[in-house]
Amino acid sequence: MNPVQYLTGRTIEALKALYNTDVPAETLQFQATRKEFEGDVTLVVFPLLRISRQAPEATAETIGRWLVENSGEVAGYNVVKGFLNIKLSAAFWSDVLAKIAADKSFGQLPSTGKTVMVEFSSPNTNKPLHLGHVRNNLLGSSVASLLSAYGHKVIKVNLVNDRGIHICKSMLAWLKCGNGITPREAGKKGDHLIGDYYVKFNDLLKAEVAELVAGGMSEEEAEKNAPILKEAQAMLVKWEQGDEAVVSLWKKMNGWVYEGFDETYRSLGISFDRTYYESQTYKGGKELVSDGLARGIFYQKEDGSVWCDLTGDGLDQKLLLRGDGTSVYMTQDLGTARQRFEEYNLDEHIYVVGNEQNYHFQVLKLILKKLGFKWADAIYHLSYGMVELPEGKMKSREGTVVDADDLIEKMYNTARETSLELGKLEGMSEAEQDELFHTLGLGALKYFIIKVDPKKTMLFDPKESIDFNGNTGPFIQYTHARIKSILRKVEEQGCRIEACHAPLIAKEENIIQLLALYPDKIREAGNAFSPAVIANYAYDLAKEFNQYYHDTQILRESDEAVRSQRLELIRLIAEVLVKAMGILGIRLPERM
């Protein structure tokens, strides 16, 4: 029984009885009672003054008195100005506990009938995944799980940017400096090897630019006319023309990268329902550009390049095709969007992409609207803040990034060191310890990143994330393991576990109220596309349990009914923690 739903119904009855007025449910405003006041749920009475024609305090007093006199589940109330703080009975909360225990799908909202696609990851095949990709993947995957719990049918997709000038840069540097080396010969993952040559290209480019500048050319001219950049541009043209040698090299090097990506995805627990490749979608975008050009939506410059004039929309002119006929990111995004909506008849398409691309998605929606696609309004850019390090932003071309694989290994080692220091590994085999270190390390990484609101830029600190105290993944994981340890002891003793309407203490009522909020938190988080809401809810629940466990007898409770109900309460806490953290992609260990 949801307390707000219950009180909504009873308050509507009260207003009818007191003022002979039918009030729609959406008129009523409820909120959690502030901690400094007694009560469970607070009714904001200001919107009701036009009905009562009384002062705020008098209105609240009148409604509160009616609820106590006519609702057996309302135990009391108090009035603070225009706020009616309502205290629900212990019997009400016992009934809520029993209903949560009986609902095996608790927290899973009913089907909305909507199909939602979530695109995330979207790596380039010229470098390995880094910390920025980690936030993208963890956020995208958890948003997909969250929307599934919300009741949507969710399709998780990845768009691999496997073509373009940046890919040609790595290919060209490998040709010039690689001497045919393979990942196996180098002793490296394929994505790491190719990333090295992306950095190498930048080094070669800088050297050529410096030489041209020394010869009297301006830096801007030198950057445009450097021979190695011209070679990369020529290679891209050859690729789009299907040059056999270029395409063969492209397939070989991309194959190395995909093997490396897959390994990283497995380590992070990331999966996709479908993977798209830009090399397979950009032609559809070029068809749309040609169509828009023929219809006068776009225009062509003397050099052959095709543009869309968005100045009338408060933006600028957007390049869609270069003068040499090669496409840009926008081109393939146009084609990919059309393909996806046609294939899946989507109700919504969410792009999980950093806030540096805000302009890109603003333009994408606008151009699709100009092309006449009504579903353009169903596109949503989940814009998130960058991940920064204490020393500042990361730059791939300069090699100043935190590599995802290195980070995963560092989190494992940090979890290992911390666990050994705390001495929490008694009785565990080496294999069990190894699995625990992976679980804790990834849990710490995922939680630390996801608990931050997506819109905010975040500073990542591996050591802080692994702390077993405070708002961290390991704290919640340890809480779950502690509950499971208690329940194992109970099983050995043959104790009963059930909600049996035994007397409740205030702390238990508070915890039941927090448990009952879980479906509302799914709704709140889903509406905001913010898994951070679920992360912080899980922390609040874990924190409440630890305080309760510290203050309350559970296993030593002499009253069998009370003990049984308390065991049921903590069992449900563990169950909800598993569901909430599961949305974040975090495993909770049975023992630590």
How does strand 387-388 pair with strand 379-384? unpaired
Angle between helix 404-422 and 430-450 (nearest 10): 120
In this predicted structure, what is the pLDDT of residue 457?
87
Domain 120-398 belongs to what topology? Rossmann fold (3.40.50)
Angle at 63 between CA 59 and CA 68, to 5 degrees: 150
At residue 436, the 3 state secondary structure works out as helix
In this predicted structure, what is the pLDDT of residue 386?
83
From first to last of the 592 residues of the chain, give the pLDDT tens digit.
689 999 999 999 999 999 999 999 999 999 999 989 999 999 999 999 999 999 999 999 999 999 999 999 999 999 999 999 999 999 999 999 999 999 999 999 999 999 999 999 999 999 899 888 999 999 999 999 999 999 999 999 999 999 889 999 999 999 999 999 999 999 999 999 999 999 999 999 999 999 999 999 999 999 999 999 999 999 999 998 999 999 999 999 999 999 999 999 999 999 999 999 999 988 999 999 999 999 999 999 999 999 999 999 999 999 999 998 888 889 999 999 999 999 999 999 999 999 999 999 999 999 999 999 999 999 999 999 988 766 555 444 444 568 899 889 989 998 999 888 887 787 889 999 999 999 999 999 999 999 999 999 888 777 777 777 889 999 999 999 999 999 999 988 888 898 888 899 999 999 999 999 999 999 999 999 999 999 999 999 999 999 999 999 998 899 999 999 999 999 999 999 999 999 999 999 998 8
Residue of 110, 118, 120 lying closest to 378 (CA atoms): 118
Q: Which residues contact 189 (CB under 8 A, 6 or more apart)?
A: 128, 183, 259, 260, 263, 405
Q: Do domains 3-88 and 120-398 have the same CATH topology?
A: no
Cα atoms found within 13 Å of the Cα of residue 428, Cβ hemisphere only: 18
Task: At 554, give phi and psi (nearest 5°).
Answer: -120, -70
How does strand 41-44 pair with strand 83-88? antiparallel
In this predicted structure, what is the pLDDT of residue 398?
47
Question: Which CATH homologous superfamily contains domain 3-88?
Answer: Arginyl tRNA synthetase N-terminal domain (3.30.1360.70)
Q: pTM above the 0.85 mark?
A: yes
Q: Are 360 and 332 in contact (CB under 8 A)?
A: no
Query: Which tokens is 146 given?
Result: 């969250």
- Other CB atoms within a 10 A radius of the CB of residue 496 amount to 13
Cα separation, 479 vs 589, whole angstroms: 10
In this predicted structure, what is the pLDDT of residue 14?
97
In this predicted structure, what is the pLDDT of residue 464?
79
Cα separation, 173 vs 197, whole angstroms: 6
In this predicted structure, what is the pLDDT of residue 397?
44
Cα atoms found within 13 Å of the Cα of residue 243, Cβ hemisphere only: 11
Question: Which CATH homologous superfamily contains domain 404-583?
Answer: Isoleucyl-tRNA Synthetase; Domain 1 (1.10.730.10)
Residue where the block lists tokens 């399709």: 155
Distance set, CA 83 to CA 3, 11, 91, 509, 537 (Å) = 17, 14, 24, 21, 25
Q: Which residues contact 70 (CB under 8 A, 6 or more apart)?
A: 10, 13, 14, 17
Task: At 298, give phi and psi (nearest 5°).
Answer: -115, 170
Q: Where are the domains of the chain?
A: 3-88, 120-398, 404-583
Cα separation, 194 vs 442, whole angstroms: 26
